């Protein structure tokens, strides 16, 4: 008597990886996971995209800015322009995770601004924001650079990156620090040999554009994905304004996104660097560059708005 043998089950072929969540509806890709908030900014790819929709910040005296929308790809220059007292600096600080939003949501480099502000602060560096990261006039250029390198080595790296650095020899660590120092100076276009006393030149003796270059170099030492610059064109002549925007365009061309507060946005940037213009306005919070301009606010209104901005700076969280 012959016993019937069961037929073997057919082997299942593995499904090809389509990058789509199996639980997601057909035809719709799964959303990209949030970046690791503990990762080292230097190890993340490229610049940081900025996506904000309907964000606003309210202080004790009312709204500082409201209804702001920003869409900027990595490696873009975002010009935040408008009249003085319309919340430009507060918007700059909010997008870098240093002021708390009242409404709306935004993502910077894929990180959610409301829930991951600390991680955004590690990837977004401030460069020349008066009242927040002022330079010490009595210190020299070289002292500022050495201080920033030491602070970056001690506090500005992720735990894993700090462990890797600790395993290197002192000679290798000094060489790495020197390389980062030189790369930041080159990216900012700051030649120490052209300064009156070289690296021993005091900050108080720098011209305004030279001070801007130093601030950008200090910010780039941390290898951020985004830098923020306030008052780019303040008290600069037309030729110097062109040099300042050319500097920021070159930084953006290297892949770092740039947020810049200015009195007047340029018509374009060298090298076809993407330019996004956000015009802040007292009545509506912000409008696009294509919207018609509204009458300038009266002097009393501007003074009142500046008080609201100052109150917001004092009351909202800042790192």
30: confidence class by pLDDT, cuts 50, 70, 90: very low
Better-predicted residue by pLDDT, 93 or 165:
93
Q: Name the average pLDDT for the chain.
A: 79
- In 3-state terms, what secondary structure has residue 74? coil
Q: What does the pLDDT look like over 177-227, one tens digit per residue?
A: 788 889 999 999 999 999 999 999 999 999 999 999 999 999 999 999 999
Q: What does the pLDDT look like over 113-125, one tens digit per residue?
A: 999 999 999 999 9
Q: Are 133 and 126 in contact (CB under 8 A)?
A: yes
Q: Give the span between the Cα atoms of 79 and 202, in whole angstroms.
A: 30
Six-digit token string for 122 = 């590690």
Instruction: Count the Cβ atoms, other than its own, within 10 Å of residue 159.
Output: 9
Six-digit token string for 43 = 């190890």
Numbers of helices and strands, H then E, in the chain: 8, 10
Q: What percent of the chain has pLDDT over 90?
A: 56
Query: Strands 285-288, 77-81: parallel, antiparallel or unpaired by DSSP?
Result: unpaired
Closest CA to 140 of 208, 223, 211, 189: 211
Whole-prediction pTM value? 0.74
9: confidence class by pLDDT, cuts 50, 70, 90: low
DSSP 267: S
């Amino acid at each position: 008597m012959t016993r019937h043998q069961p037929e073997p089950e057919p082997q299942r072929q593995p499904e090809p990886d389509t990058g789509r969540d199996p639980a997601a509806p057909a035809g719709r890709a799964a959303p990209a996971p949030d970046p690791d908030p503990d990762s080292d900014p230097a190890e993340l790819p490229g610049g940081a995209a900025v996506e904000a929709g309907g964000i606003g910040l309210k202080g004790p005296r009312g709204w500082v800015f409201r209804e702001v929308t920003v869409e900027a790809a990595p490696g873009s220059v975002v010009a935040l322009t408008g009249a003085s007292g319309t919340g430009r600096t507060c918007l700059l600080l909010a997008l870098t995770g240093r002021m708390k939003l009242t409404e709306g949501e935004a993502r910077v480099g894929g990180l959610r601004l409301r829930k991951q502000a600390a991680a955004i602060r590690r990837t977004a560096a401030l460069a020349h924001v008066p009242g927040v990261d002022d330079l010490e006039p009595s210190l020299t250029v070289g002292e500022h650079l050495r201080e920033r390198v030491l602070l970056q080595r001690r506090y500005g790296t992720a735990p894993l990156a700090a462990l890797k650095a600790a395993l290197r020899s002192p000679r290798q660590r000094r060489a790495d620090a020197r390389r980062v120092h030189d790369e930041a100076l080159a990216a900012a276009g700051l030649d120490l040999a052209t300064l009156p006393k070289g690296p021993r030149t005091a900050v108080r003796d720098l011209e305004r554009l030279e001070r801007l270059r130093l601030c950008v170099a200090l910010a780039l030492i941390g290898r951020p994905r985004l830098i923020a610059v306030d008052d780019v064109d303040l008290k600069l002549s037309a030729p110097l304004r062109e040099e300042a925007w050319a500097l920021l365009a070159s930084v953006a061309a290297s892949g770092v996104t740039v947020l810049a507060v200015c009195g007047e946005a340029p018509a374009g940037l060298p090298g076809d660097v993407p330019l996004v213009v956000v015009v802040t306005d007292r009545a509506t919070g912000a409008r696009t560059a294509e919207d018609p301009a509204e009458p300038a606010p009266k002097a009393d209104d501007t003074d009142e708005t500046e008080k609201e901005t100052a109150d917001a700076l004092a009351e909202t969280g800042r790192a």
